[in-house]
Amino acid sequence: MHFPLFGELVVILALAAGILLLFRRFRLPGILAFILTGMIAGPHGWGWVKEVDEVTALAEIGVVFLLFVIGMEFSLKKLASLGKTVFLGGTLQVGLTIAAVGAVLHAFGVRTESAVFIGFLVCLSSTAIVLRVLQEKGRMDSAPGRVATAILIFQDIIVVPMMLVTPLLAGQSQDITMDLLKLLGKMALLLVAVFFGGRYFVPKLLRAAIKGRGNELFIITIVVICFAAAFTTQAMGLSPALGAFFAGLVISETEHAYHATGIVQPFHELFLSFFFVSIGMLVDLRIFIDAPFTILALFAGATVVKIGAALIAVWVLRYPLRTAMHSALGLFQLGEFGFVLAIPGLKLGLLSEEHYQFFLAVAILGMATTPYMLNSSEHIVRKVFLQFVPAKVSNRLDSLMRVKREQEKKLAGVLKDHVVIVGFGLNGQNVATAAMESGIRCAVVEEDPDLARKAQLVGLPVLHGDATNDHVLHEAHVERARVVVVAISDPEASKKIVAGIRAISSTVYILVRTRYVREIQANLDAGANEVIPEEFETSIEIFYRVLRKYLVPEQRIQDLVARIRGDHYGMLRGVSTTPERAKAEALTIPGVEIATLPVTLGRGKVVGRSVAEIALREKYGITVLAIRRKGRYITNVSGSTRIITDDLLYLLGSPDAIVRLDQELR
């Protein structure tokens, strides 16, 4: 069977992979790599891809998955907790942007319907790029990060009514009042379906699906729910992506939302890449040559309008003007949902081909500059703020709005410096009990619904899902945890979990429980710090009691136990052990820990540089205690000591600082 798209898929994916590698080196957004792939391989580029319609069909599936994932990430409880910041701040930012863009375009002779629609496109920012950069920089919990996230959430929600209103703007309605009533009726039906589906039907279905062995049944169930909802809304005369959004909203209200999101994520990312490739294929490269100054002028105008609208919106929320400026700088670009919305606008005549090309060019330029804008936001705010807004004026403006200074504080409920317990069986329960008794915060990751409910009953935060799923690990904030305890009985899954955790964080301490000693080395190789096999722990408990009956001093017994565990049970396995080491007193300084950080080829900011050059103490408040290099230890670390690949750094500093350093060096 001949399928011509196969060869072109190979071309698209291979080209995208190469561009992604190049973009990662320069910390450019992955979305741009896919758009550039389409520009190069498409009809306006080198013409390598002929089956553009088939690629577009794959792109439509990507849009369905995009809205599905967005729906799953919208918990109604989460929206209620953010409340005013989402709805008031988002409404102001979107409304002011649409009004400003519409007024300017109307003054230049653009008809009102098209001017309003272009305002729709301009008001949306890039959720994917902004959140990625904020996470990399550790700014998600800062006041500007929280405000920007809240407004981005509102923008993602408002896309749905924009998609519904677009055909009405295009004048496809003979009786607008009747069509609006029909639209409201259909929306009411969908909301009723969301309520009853989320409350009664879907949770039972997912609970039954997850009890089967393996993920196959659960995956199929999730995908069926997504496409069934998309087909239903399409049959109702609405967008299939809208149905996917409501299906995601239903799943978001169940206990399996994180697990489902992690499962759908690979499909979503694959098909969404084809969507951005298809967008790139529509870009006519000649526009960058023929009208570069027009593009730059439009980009500058859109940037000023968006920053101004966001600045006013955040300031009205009674945040300090400086915080408002930081938040606004993160929302200046045009977003990926604009691409989703622009295609029907182009088909319906709300957007001319020329205007569409200008929109694509401005959006691409904004996405490309977003990481640099966010990285330089402090410098920009300091220069602009101090130069144009004197401190007295700033203080008066803040007092005028009665700014709430306490809003600058971090959310108390965010998991941080906690213990993540993977598996709430007997071992996990014992760890949780000991942690709670000691006043240590902990979170539980559990796939079994009954055990997850048991953890909830004792008041623990629980993530329902498979810990081999990276999305679940991210939601448990393993990068901010001090310790992760893997206490499940599946040895293969344990290794995958350890490797997944280590891919997220190089500093978190990973403790693994295994049944047999033969599983120790595999887990250590995967990145575990310590592995505790049950079979030898039983032996230790037996000889501990035997030695006590022989009146052996308690300190000698404890030293022996520590030595056995420190050598990975080599004594019990008949392996020669290292000489007994003096027992060091545990470090108990509050807010300080000792962590290890491996230096790999990817850590270009430290490889080949001296300790003085990387300035860990000045930038992060971190001290290099020692370096392990090729089996030997360098303990006399001076400012001139150079760091090379495969070094292991022993660092002293606050958990926050060490996590931030780990993230910035990735």
pTM of this structure: 0.61
**In 3-state terms, what secondary structure has residue 137?**
coil
Residue 570's pLDDT band (cuts 50, 70, 90): low
Q: What is the pLDDT of residue 572?
A: 59
CA 319 to chain centre: 25
Q: What is the pLDDT of residue 408?
A: 38
Q: pLDDT tens digit string along 403-417?
A: 444 433 433 345 778
Token pair recorded at residue 568 = 């990975």
- CA geometry: angle at 260 spanning 186 and 235, to 5°? 25
Q: At residue 162, does pLDDT exceed 80?
A: yes
**Separation of alpha carbons 91 and 83, rounded Å:** 12
Q: pLDDT tens digit string along 172-218?
A: 666 666 767 777 777 788 778 777 777 778 888 888 887 765 678 88
The full set of domain ranges for the chain reads 5-377, 419-573, 593-664
Q: What is the pLDDT of residue 262?
A: 78
Q: pLDDT tens digit string along 290-339?
A: 889 999 999 999 999 999 999 999 888 878 777 888 889 889 989 888 88
- CA geometry: angle at 124 spanning 24 and 173, to 5°? 135
Q: At residue 93, does pLDDT exceed 90?
A: yes
Quote the CATH superfamily of domain 593-664.
Regulator of K+ conductance, C-terminal domain (3.30.70.1450)
CA 114 to chain centre: 34
Q: At residue 400, does pLDDT exceed 70?
A: no
* One fold for 5-377 and 419-573: no
* Residue 269 contacts residue 12 (beta carbons within 8 Å): no
Q: Which CATH architecture best describes the domain 5-377?
A: Up-down Bundle (1.20)
Q: What is the pLDDT of residue 409?
A: 40
**pLDDT, mean over the chain:** 80
CATH number of 419-573: 3.40.50.720
Residue appearing with tokens 């690990």: 473
Q: What is the pLDDT of residue 396?
A: 60
Q: What is the pLDDT of residue 464?
A: 81
**In 3-state terms, what secondary structure has residue 303?**
helix
**Separation of alpha carbons 664 and 600, rounded Å:** 13
Q: What is the pLDDT of residue 562?
A: 74
Mean pLDDT of 131-139: 69
Residue 116's pLDDT band (cuts 50, 70, 90): very high
Measured over all CA atoms, what is the biggest interatomic distance in the chain, rounded to whole angstroms?
98
- CA geometry: angle at 645 spanning 639 and 647, to 5°? 65
* Residue 651 contacts residue 621 (beta carbons within 8 Å): no
Q: What is the pLDDT of residue 172?
A: 65
